Amino acid sequence: MNKEAHIEPKPRLSVIWVVPLLAVLITGWMLYQHQQNKGHQVYIKMKSADGIIAGKTEIRVRSVKVGVVESLRLQVEQKAVVATVRIEKHYDNLLTEDAKFWIVKPRIDQSGISGLNTLLSGVYIELLPGESKQRTSLYTLQEQPALISTDIEGVRFQLSSTSGEVLDVGTGIFFRNYHVGQIESSVFNTDSLQMEYGVFIHSPYDRLITHNAIFWINSGVELSLTSEGINLNTGSLAKMIKGGISVDYPPGQDGTEVAQEGRAFTLHQNFAVALERRFDLFDHYLVEFEQSIRGLKPGAPVEYRGMRIGTVEQVPARLEQNGQPLYFQQGNTSIPVLIKIEYGRIYEVDAKAKQYWQENIEQWIKNGLRASLKSGNILTGAVYIELDFYNSTPPTSLGMNFAYPVLPSVPSGFTALSEQVMALLNKLNKLPLDNSLNEAQQTMQAFTALAEETQALVNSFNTTKVSEKVEKNLTQLQGTLAQLTASLKQFEQTLNNYQKGSGMVEQLTDTLQELESLSNSLKPVSKGLNEQPNMLLFDKETLADPEPRKQR
């Protein structure tokens, strides 16, 4: 009998394939875990990779390693280096959009010496996390370290300066020589041609920065010459080496309202300039001078009888009318100067000063208020503008230009002197000098005749006969007065016996006293005539003291 074979199909997948499949799964899982644990990859763009080594240079936060530089490569344009950085998984939240990277290496700055430990271990890259919620993978390496950490309390402000001196990042800010902050950033604005600084003021000193605060550059050395001698003041060694910024209130003022964060202030070249340019409320005026303005410079003071009330802004004023400069107009030879009246100089409440000025300026000009040029320094030839009242000037009013009101002026200095000399010469030309000279000649002749007659009279008095007659007459007059005095005294005694205390007696007493005084006065005259007969016309000669003779 035939039996059929039973054929069973074999399974398509063998059990043996489970082993490699498990191996693939385990490998994939390990690769996934490795990739996950590897961290986040970012790129840092830098000018040079000096001191950075791929695979060794670490990324640190507060001296704790959070990553490493994996590789370095040149940018496509070959103008920079791009470093591939791997940040560990647990620290990927530090990679915010405003995070900052910089190289830590040995530095000597205002805060001291730092980074000396990198001399042995090599440089590393410091990471300062930001506060933004956005993430990014491309950063630019900073050349200077970030000075202010996000956990430090304080307020940031902006400073702008047109001074030629450029301050470094890290320069300190001092309030009355006490360190209150520092420069955080420094950028040159090519549009405004100004240096723009970002400054950080530590808390609680940010309350010292008020709306009326003024900032100026302090070099650390102040030299002043006063009536007491030469004064030399120096700050700290750091200020002398790197300089600093001082902030304070104007003299006589206290802090007002605290400034808001981000407010922009002006950084002045020195304290004197800061005081001059702190007046924000002002009005512009034009002054037209019919004379040379040589020596007048922008920044020169505008004064009223020695009190500064403004500043010269443009010399000459850069204004145009009908396509022509105002100082080159046909039919007008005056040169306009643009000034500004700063009301804060007139009164501490500048709004009240402005109202007072505008209400009275018209009347002041009608009363003779005029502008003139005055010499400020003979050696340098610098001049300034002075406002004062001139009663002899013709009446006028406040003029009006198409842009600014115009203050009237009067010539001064050599121009005014030359005008006065010309006016004097014109008057002299109109005088009848010929008749005056003839009259003067006749007068001199009359004076000559009078002098001759006077000399003859003096000579006659000097003769012996005249002096003897005068002396004899004075002697007789003195005797007569003595007899009259004796008679009156006897008469007075008689009246006292009968009418003592009456008014007539008092009158006689006064008369006797006057006669006695007259007699005493004539005695030295008589004696003087004996010694010098011509003493009535000339001063009496004083005889020299006799000198004792030597005994033989």
What's the pLDDT tens digit per position in 18-35?
A: 778 888 888 888 877 766
Residue 33 inside a domain? The answer is no
Domain stops at, among 229, 249, 276: 276
* Mean per-residue pLDDT, 446-470: 63
pLDDT confidence of residue 133: 83
Residue 538 inside a domain? The answer is no
Closest CA to 123 of 111, 131, 115: 115
Does the pTM surpass 0.75? The reply is no
Q: Are 303 and 387 in contact (CB under 8 A)?
A: yes
Say what the alpha-carbon torsion angle 300, 304, 308, 310 is, to the nearest 10 degrees: -60
Task: Indicate the average pLDDT of the chain.
Answer: 76
Domain stops at, among 427, 460, 480: 427
Domain stops at, among 251, 276, 301: 276
Domain count, the chain: 4
* Mean per-residue pLDDT, 239-250: 75
The verdict on 411 and 455 lying in the same domain is no
Does pLDDT of 493 surpass 50?
yes
Reading the block at residue 362, the tokens are 């018209």
Block residue for tokens 């037209």: 288
Does pLDDT of 315 surpass 70?
yes
Residue 544 inside a domain? The answer is no
Residue 64 inside a domain? The answer is yes
Does pLDDT of 172 surpass 50?
yes
Residue 3 inside a domain? The answer is no
The verdict on 420 and 450 lying in the same domain is no
The verdict on 292 and 418 lying in the same domain is yes
pLDDT confidence of residue 226: 42
The verdict on 510 and 471 lying in the same domain is yes
pLDDT confidence of residue 437: 61
Range of the domain at 415: 282-427
pLDDT tens figures, 403-434:
788 898 888 755 555 555 566 666 656 656 56
The verdict on 291 and 384 lying in the same domain is yes
Reading the block at residue 178, the tokens are 């006490």
Long-range contacts of 208-211 (CB under 8 A, 24+ apart): 208/175, 208/180, 208/247, 208/255, 209/155, 209/157, 209/247, 209/258, 209/259, 210/249, 210/255, 210/256, 210/257, 210/258, 210/259, 211/256, 211/257, 211/259
Residue 343 inside a domain? The answer is yes
Reading the block at residue 500, the tokens are 């003592």
